[in-house]
Chains A and B, each alone.
Chain A
């Protein structure tokens, strides 16, 4: 079975600063996909960034980047130049490449402080 662990229930960061959210996972699969989703108070789940396990290069989307360490089964999210709109719950998710079932972590509540 796949498990996803987010060890930081809550985090805060000053506006314009950088913050890193941690995620580890456990799997015996070699090929899979990892995702970070954002859920603001409006509760709409929004895809932030995606990483394919077979790619060594870390994914980047504007101010969002990941540090993917396959051997360590670690997938952290770095948010640079934090903005007030980044305040949300962030979920790390895992998916095997043989199916579409997502496994979600328990989430990290991020607050950006003005």
Chain B
């Protein structure tokens, strides 16, 4: 398993600003993922972040809106840019464990945009 922490745990932001969410893992992992969970909804994959390469974005998500960094094997950031109230969600990072095909999730960041 892996222990994952996220910062901040929650934030309230104004429309038009940007927020960077940090994800830290206690061990080196190849694959990290960013998800969005809108209120009362399921998880939607935003992008896959592999160290040493560009993030791969899912349909409906673009790099200009959700830039991702992956500087090393234990850390990643997701920025939510030019925020609008529709971006109010929980953002979760997860890591993939290749040997067991499991994913472990961070505690999430609850973002509210006013």
Residues of A within 8 A of B (CB): 33, 35, 37, 42-47, 50, 52, 91, 95, 97, 100-102, 104-107
Contact = CB atoms under 8 A, between A and B. Distances in A.
A37 B43 CA distance: 11
Contacts of A91: 42-43
Interface residues of B, number: 22
Contact of B45 (A42, A101, A105): A101
B42 A35 contact: no
Interface of B: 31, 33, 41-45, 48, 90, 92, 94, 96, 98, 100-105, 107-108, 110
A7 to B, nearest CB: 14
Contact of A44 (B31, B98, B107): B107
Nearest to A42: B107
B42 A107 contact: yes
A43 B104 contact: no
Contacts of B105: 37, 44-46
A64 B98 CA distance: 24
Given A43-B90, A45-B92, A104 B104 contact: no
B41 A35 contact: no
A100 B56 CA distance: 12
Given A43-B90, A100-B103, A105 B42 contact: yes
Contact of B42 (A33, A47, A100, A104): A104
Contacts of A37: 105
A52 to B, nearest CB: 8
Nearest to A6: B42
Given A101-B45, A104-B43, A105-B42, A43 B101 contact: no
A26 to B, nearest CB: 16
Given A35-B102, A100-B31, A102-B103, A43 B108 contact: yes
A95 B108 contact: no
B44 to A, nearest CB: 8
Contacts of B48: 100-101
B103 A106 contact: no
Contacts of B102: 35, 47, 50
